[in-house]
Amino acid sequence: MGKTPDLFILAEHTDLMKKLSAWDIAYHQNDAPVVDDATYDAAKSRALEIEELYPELAPDGASSMVGAAVSDKFKSYPHSVPMLSISDVFNAAEVADWFDKLSDEDLFVELKVDGVSYAARYEHGKLVRGLTRGSGVAGEDITENLKTIPDIPQQLTGDYPDVIEVRGEVYMMRSDFIALNEVGDRQFANPRNAAAGSLRQLNPKITASRRLSAFGYTYGELSERTWKTQSEYFDKLESWGFKTTRRWAHRVHTMDEIQDVYNSVMAMRSDIPFDIDGLVIKVNNVDVQERMGARANSPRWEVAYKFPAARAITILRDITIQVGRTGVLTPVAELEPINIGGVVVSRATLHNADEIARLGVRIGDKVIVQRAGDVIPQIVGVDTQIGKSVYEFPSVCPVCGAAVVRESGAVARKCVNSLGCPAQRIGELEHFVSRHAFDIDGLGTRQLELFISRGWIKSPADIFTLIQNHGDELRKMDGFGDKSVSNLNVAIKNATVIDLHRFLYAIGIPDVGEVSAKLLARHLGSLDAVRNATDGQLKSIDGIGDVMAGEIVSFFSDEHNTQIINDLLQHITVRDAVVETGGALMGKRIVLTGTLSKYTRDAARDILERMGARVQSSVSPKTDIVIAGDAAGSKLDNAQKLGITIWGESDLDALVESGGDNFGK
């Protein structure tokens, strides 16, 4: 029995719990954290320290906290098995203290992915319910949202229990997060917030429009367990159609090995394409896990070995403004260069005007800078207020001088001069020549800026007469020569025939990304059909909502856009798509796996989709064909077990050569 806490300790603990509760609601319910992880962890650690000294505070304290109460915006359901959190440890001594209490020293070390926990319940292999962690006792119903994420199979494959609740993490790849912030009105602070905000949507179509990814890593309720270790469970997950973090996982037996893994992952952290905030160390033997059991809010058989916050304090020298291709103004903090975790940082994002106001940051202040995911520097707070005046967000575009507006209900400020702003023109042209659009190699930012400044490129159509009109001048310029100009000429000529969906993506219709462009192409078939589609026709396409339909109609009604497209059509051919009523592979579900020698994955996908196929990311009993290249892995194994038709690259070659006429022969 601990001693009775005095009034000062009680007051401190009460204050800590109020803060933690409010922060949990902001983080788990509103997807808008108000403090960084380090601040939260420090407050929780102090609360736990007090509760260890005064155990009577634990039942209503941090020792019993898991997530936050479910939001009343969603239906909620109880977890059949509580969804507990994981105890955090922050240094080798704390890990050793946990390790020394173990009787089983076969450990499994995984990445701690910085995302949003989910629970997906399967009955007879079919996904029947998806929940958030919520309070740990009950979660929010996100079933339809989970169904939009390609990494979460709707039907399990292979040998699975009659009932299994797979638990894991929904996350957003860092590249997808950056792309989302470039086009969205809401500016998310980091990929975790973006994933949470995208997953917890009342409209699943919004979730589907965001590029979310997912891993599986544990389980809740199940009717039968056929695995003995966590390592074997990863094998099961992959056989059922889930992705795991096995590529980065390790089996270890000693503290030295744990620390070696920790150090090696820390060193490669920036190369991992998604955010992680530590390692999860688990007893590998599941029988031992079950014997060890759990505390009120966390299992005894695992800990999260957290990475230190990569942060530092420096001076904010200035705030500059970047103008993106959609006209959005993004404030950038110009910093006194500072070394953060081995990287010299001199610039950081401030997201938008609202974030500047929330932070209360002024030029000249000492600011706290953090490398989010060790890649994207951001200001997370003010250390010392030194600056004299509040920053005033510009009311005119710093590039072209046009007015800046904030549309109703939006966060972002935009330059209204979409036709004449040089910054927007560069961004639009970068998008136009990008890999998933016209894919013109050799036209990067530096080249586009040069050609625009010389007046050689004023609109996309000018790209296709660039060499014809300015080739001789270009060959005489530093950094160019006969070979580079010849290569650029070939790349431009290769782009003069383009698939409809790539063209629709390239021309930058607001809200239309790669997936939406493919939907339009498959349902309407030709550029003329898309240009002339009515609002009603567009909204009848599953996946095209009211806002997007309005943007498409508005885009093609604009005289400037019409002129740009007509000018382009003087130089290029837009290849019609196969409308979803015919085509050699119409309706066939196809999975690509392994490495193809003649085709990139994107090129193979485009060929198959032009013939009407639906290219999927995972194998299921409904898959019709698996095309396997070199080093094909578990997808090929699953296909063989399920008796699915398997093609090699030669079969794809034959299909391409025949134009699809030999399918099924």
Q: Options 3.90.550.10, 3.40.50.300, 2.160.10.10, 1.10.287.610; which CATH number does 7-64 get? A: 1.10.287.610
Instruction: Given CATH 3.40.50.720, say whether it is the number of domain 311-414.
Output: no
Task: Output the pLDDT for position 374.
Answer: 46
Start-end of CATH 1.10.150.20 domains in the chain: 418-495, 499-575
Task: Output the pLDDT for position 1.
Answer: 45
Are the CB atoms for 541 and 519 separated by under 8 Å?
Answer: yes
Task: Tell me which range, 328-332, 475-479, 558-562, is most confidently predicted by mean pLDDT.
Answer: 328-332
Fold of 76-306: D-amino Acid Aminotransferase; Chain A, domain 1 (3.30.470)
Start-end of CATH 3.30.470.30 domains in the chain: 76-306
Q: Which one of 19, 73, 101, 112 is the catalytic residue?
A: 112
Backbone phi, psi, residue 358, to 5°: -65, -40
* Residues in Cβ contact with 307 at an 8 Å cutoff, skipping those fewer than 6 apart: 266, 269, 276, 277, 278
217 pLDDT exceeds 60?
yes
504 pLDDT exceeds 90?
yes
Q: 48 or 439: which carries more pLDDT confidence?
A: 439
Please give the Cα distance from 295 to 338 (Å, whole number): 42
- Using CA atoms, how far residue 105 sits from 258, 265, 368, 431, 542, in Å, is 11, 21, 40, 52, 52
Task: Output the pLDDT for position 503.
Answer: 94
Query: pTM score, two decimals?
Result: 0.50
Residue pLDDT, tens place only, 535-547: 888 988 877 878 7
Residue pLDDT, tens place only, 357-385: 989 999 999 998 887 544 568 888 888 88
**Structure token pair of residue 74:** 């969603």
Least confident of 135-149, 437-451, 627-641: 627-641
Strand order in the sheet with 250-252: 88-89, 302-306, 276-283, 107-113, 250-252
Task: Output the pLDDT for position 69.
Answer: 54
Average pLDDT, the chain: 84
* CATH of the domain spanning 589-658: 3.40.50.10190
The superfamily CATH assigns to domain 499-575 is: 5' to 3' exonuclease, C-terminal subdomain (1.10.150.20)
- Chain position carrying tokens 């080798």: 92
**Structure token pair of residue 82:** 């509580």
> Does the active-site annotation cover 3?
no
Start-end of CATH 1.10.287.610 domains in the chain: 7-64
Start-end of CATH 3.40.50.10190 domains in the chain: 589-658
- Chain position carrying tokens 């977890």: 79
Task: Write down the architecture of domain 418-495 according to CATH.
Answer: Orthogonal Bundle (1.10)
